Structure 1
Amino acid sequence: MKELRIKGSYVHHKEIKAAQGIKINAQGLEYAIAGTSLHVVGPDDDVENIKEAAMEDMRSLMSRIDRSGEGVYVQASTLGSLEALLEFLKTDEVRIPVSGIGIGPVHKKDVMKASVMLEKKKEYATILAFDVKVTQEARELADEAGVKIFIADIIYHLFDQFKAYIDNLKEEKKKEVAEEAVFPCSLKIVPNHVYNKKDPIVVGVDVLEGIARVGTLICIPQREFIDIGWIASIENNHRPVDSAKKGQRVSIKIVGSNSEEKQKMFGRHFEIEDELVSKVSRRSIDILKANFRNDLSIEDWKLVKTLRD
């Protein structure tokens, strides 16, 4: 490799043995992709066949791009490292779709390609840069456009960064829609535990199924699903809690569902034997599926279906 580090004329050789460094000078090499095969066309060779062979490596990579057009943009230093990253991203434990690939430093054009996801799926408007540099122009454009760039020299670290970013987005989304999310619950009033019959209603209940949460709209299925109000607070052993699960006995305070309507009253609008359930809607179910799917058990989802039907 000596001649590559010092100035001077190249030394010409008729043959080169393994592990010796060489430079290849040929027309159009600036368009070659690092890691792909380089073919020499002889006088008797079919140029089109050799072109097909040269493209085989890239075809293999392009076949791993998600057909839906949704996914992250992946950038790596060489073809080999790109293959390794793509293989990792498609494993069952990871499963991150890829919408585009690139080799070499991250440039503005790569950020522009990744920014397409801003209109399709914002969380995928990201570039996973594996063992490559990011140009200053690309950083500036990414900050301006809202494209996230994650950089790492180890594949697992790159995945950890992206996962932490997605988890943070999910938590932010949960907070935004928390008030509209209606968790399924079925409650039974405990005899001799009616502490206040109206304005607000305060009763002790057993959670028969699901999850009772503060903010849940409660109705009575036996009385044409009449609304009796929202759960304003929950107490478990005289301590305030945000929710109560199946099998727990808690005290709940219910406030009126609509200030313009007459306040519902225990003993007039519902009785001790009536079941209290959360009032679900198509909108609330969609919110649960999109943001709280993993927070509900199979039994909880069955209850959602029962309450909806």
Structure 2
Amino acid sequence: MAAIWSFDLTDRDVVNIPGETPSEITDMVIFNEEGFGNDTDIMETVKNFNKSDEGVFAVASTTRSLKVLVEFLRSPTVNIPVRDLDIGRITPVEIRKVYKTSDGKRKLSTILAFEVDVTPEATQLAERLQVKVIFGGVLETLCQEFKEHVKETKIDDGAILPCVLSILPDLVFNKDNPIVLGVLVVKGFIKLGTPICNMGRDCLQTGRIAWIEKDQKSVTSAEEGEAVMIKIVPSNPKQDGFSSGRHFDISDRILISQMTRESMDALTSKFKDQLNIADSEFLSDMECVLNIK
């Protein structure tokens, strides 16, 4: 006989990734009663776990393993925030969910998998969508690999790349939340997570790039000279959304990346040996346009 435990995973099958057809799944996860045994504290620990608005996706092989993982992650010495939980092997379903909820932030595009397998299809999709899957059977090793991953992504997250985008007026499909439109990368480089502001509206911050499509395929970046479709969502998930006519309008023509002194310094620190004269002039122009002191 099986016990049915309602797990809050109803959004797992609504991730819209071009070229992908999400598998049909259920929002009910079925466990054997033997998984809990006589220790009802296992279920209570997991059910009462306080999820973070931003964090990793934690997965374990069984409910008992999930309890161990949860207690380890929320211990004071580890303190890794967790956005969501699951049980079972890693499939493309989990990769799509993490991709959707991470909003392009590499540090948040992470799955910590304890004593579980990863399907080949999930591995391939994770590589394409830049979702990091850290898996193994030793909790301390998972923690250490995650910390190393955070260090690797820290500079990348702070180093916002400069860009100038020309809006393709015939390819504006939605001007509200989310903004969906075609752009030409006139100068610079864009990637998932790039914050965007509207140059025609005193550089008012519009949102963050959550999705990029080229030739009807999902991509993670676009270079100078490429024409792509992008989706812009509010930078803050708790933000109500855009105000049509204030943040963006059909008459607008130029979007640029929203940079700060901190992001400028992070960029020059990471790529100081690769910046040429033209790059330095471009950064100087961005500083003037954005009034960065």
TM-score (norm 1): 0.41
Structure with the bigger percentage of strand: 2
Which of these two proteins has the greater Rg computed from alpha carbons?
Answer: 1
Structure with the bigger percentage of helix: 1
TM-score (norm 2): 0.43
Higher RCO structure (Cα 8 Å, ≥6 apart): 2
